[in-house]
Amino acid sequence: MERLPGFRDFYPEPLPHSDVWSADVRNYLFDKWRNTARAFGFREYDGPPLEPLDLYTLKSGEEIVGQLYNFIDKGNRAVALRPEMTPTLARLVGAHERHYKKPVKWFSIPQLFRYERQQKGRLREHFQFNADLLGETDPAADAELIALLISLLQACGLTPSDFVIRLSSRNAWHDYFARSSADPAREYEFYQVIDKLERATPDESEAKLAALGLSLDAVRHFIEAGQPTPELSTIIQDLSARGLAEFVKIDYNVIRGLAYYTGPVFEAFDRQGQFRAIAGGGRYDHLVGLITGGKVQLPAAGFGLGDVVLTEIITQRRLLPKLEARLDAFCLIEDESIRRDSLRLIHELRQAGCAVDFPLAPLKSDKQFKRALDSHAAYTLRLERSTHGEISVRIKNLRTREENVASPAEVLPLLRLP
């Protein structure tokens, strides 16, 4: 039985095959993400992986709706696997908005599902770190989010020479569109053309813009001029006060595909442009209102950072530490008459927070020792019974080869754990 295309199997290291993903790398990233988000004062939330189809059809925009994994469930409900987290977040916050002080700073690490054409950096399932800040219109909120995104990437070892945040604003494009004589009802269609500009051929873009009464030359000129709007200048000043100016540049090629963005938008890319977008987000001041049917109006901004492209980049740059099995101690049981006493000590050490393993069934001593080495145990423990029936423990430091003998109660303080 094969797995479905675009889905992944995650194995513990060392990996058996180049076609599978590392569960250890995934945990490594999640730990970095959680620690960095908490350092910025964000709290974790989660929601269901299956949602009513309606949550996406009106609010996310054509591109994502075309990629939905949707079906009718046994209760005759139209449902979809979540392709993104933002509508779920808007639903959650909208439902209990009064319960939380503003601004709300929340993060989540959902697994998301999109029926996309499988290609490098894009699969049909991915994990996406999301951080969102609700209840604040000041561009300081957008800057706080971008600073968090930069710190997340730095925590994974990336530097200003590895990545850049391309900062833009839908307001700049909204004003551009409003100044033209194009039909105001076709504004989102125009955004879609800008979003595809770097991927489509000039002829395709030219034709689509002409249909809206606009020219590719004029659009290109506007992008090249790259004049920051007042909100973008404020964001850049804020980031520069934090010493992060070198990570950002104004780039009006970015406009974002999703329908709900209303203000500053941004995407993170590797500097060489070898990979797909690492992360993307922006301001979406009307989504909570839309999802709550107008009951709750809450300005918001946020971003999503996927695990696929980030793993590709840090693997290529060799930034991952060695992620292997690591035990504090391996308890050798060479004399079966001492198994019960060994089990007691093992359980006590585990309850004290030590990672301890042992042979479940009788095993030759050399094989037991090999297992201790393979699992990178810091110590081996071997219980011994004296002629008077007293139990002592021989503790061996596998790095220094130093040995100690102690009573079972003395073992824990002797395991000098890193």
The site for ligand HAM (CB under 6 A) is made up of 84-86, 114, 116, 122-123, 126, 128, 130, 132, 258, 277-281, 302-304, 306, 308-309
Nearer to ligand HAM, 97 or 132 (CB): 132
Closest residue to ligand HAM in the complex (CB): 306
Q: How far is the CB of 127 from ligand HAM (least distance, A)?
A: 9
Nearer to ligand HAM, 182 or 278 (CB): 278
For residues 415 and 418, what is the distance between their CA atoms, to the nearest angstrom? 9
Say which amino acid occupies 168.
Answer: S
Nearer to ligand HAM, 320 or 412 (CB): 320
Q: How far is the CB of 306 from ligand HAM (least distance, A)?
A: 3
CA 342, distance to chain mean position in Å, is 41
Nearer to ligand HAM, 174 or 339 (CB): 174
Q: How far is the CB of 191 from ligand HAM (least distance, A)?
A: 14
Q: How far is the CB of 157 from ligand HAM (least distance, A)?
A: 17
CA quadruple 52, 55, 58, 64: dihedral, nearest 10? -90
For residues 41 and 55, what is the distance between their CA atoms, to the nearest angstrom? 28
Q: How far is the CB of 262 from ligand HAM (least distance, A)?
A: 11
Nearer to ligand HAM, 170 or 371 (CB): 170
Q: Is 248 helix (H, G, I), strand (E, B) or coil?
A: strand
Q: How far is the CB of 417 from ligand HAM (least distance, A)?
A: 36
Percent helix / strand / coil, the chain, rounded to 5? 40, 20, 40
Q: How far is the CB of 343 from ligand HAM (least distance, A)?
A: 45
β-strands 329-332, 391-397: how paired?
unpaired
Q: How far is the CB of 326 from ligand HAM (least distance, A)?
A: 29
**DSSP structural state of residue 362:** -
Nearer to ligand HAM, 58 or 218 (CB): 58
Nearer to ligand HAM, 95 or 210 (CB): 95
For residues 6 and 114, what is the distance between their CA atoms, to the nearest angstrom? 9
Nearer to ligand HAM, 92 or 308 (CB): 308
| DSSP string for residues in 265-305 | EEEEEETT--SS-SEEEEE-TTHHHHHTTTS----EEEEEE
Query: Residue 89, by phi and psi: left (phi above 0), alpha (psi -120 to 50) or beta?
Result: alpha
Nearer to ligand HAM, 251 or 357 (CB): 251
Q: What pairs with residue 105 in β-bridges?
A: 133
Q: How far is the CB of 160 from ligand HAM (least distance, A)?
A: 19
Which residues 6+ apart lie within 8 Å of 82 measured at CB? 47, 48, 49, 50, 51, 88, 110, 112, 113
**DSSP structural state of residue 187:** H
For residues 385 and 391, what is the distance between their CA atoms, to the nearest angstrom? 5
Which residues 6+ apart lie within 8 Å of 202 measured at CB? 216
For residues 132 and 142, what is the distance between their CA atoms, to the nearest angstrom? 10
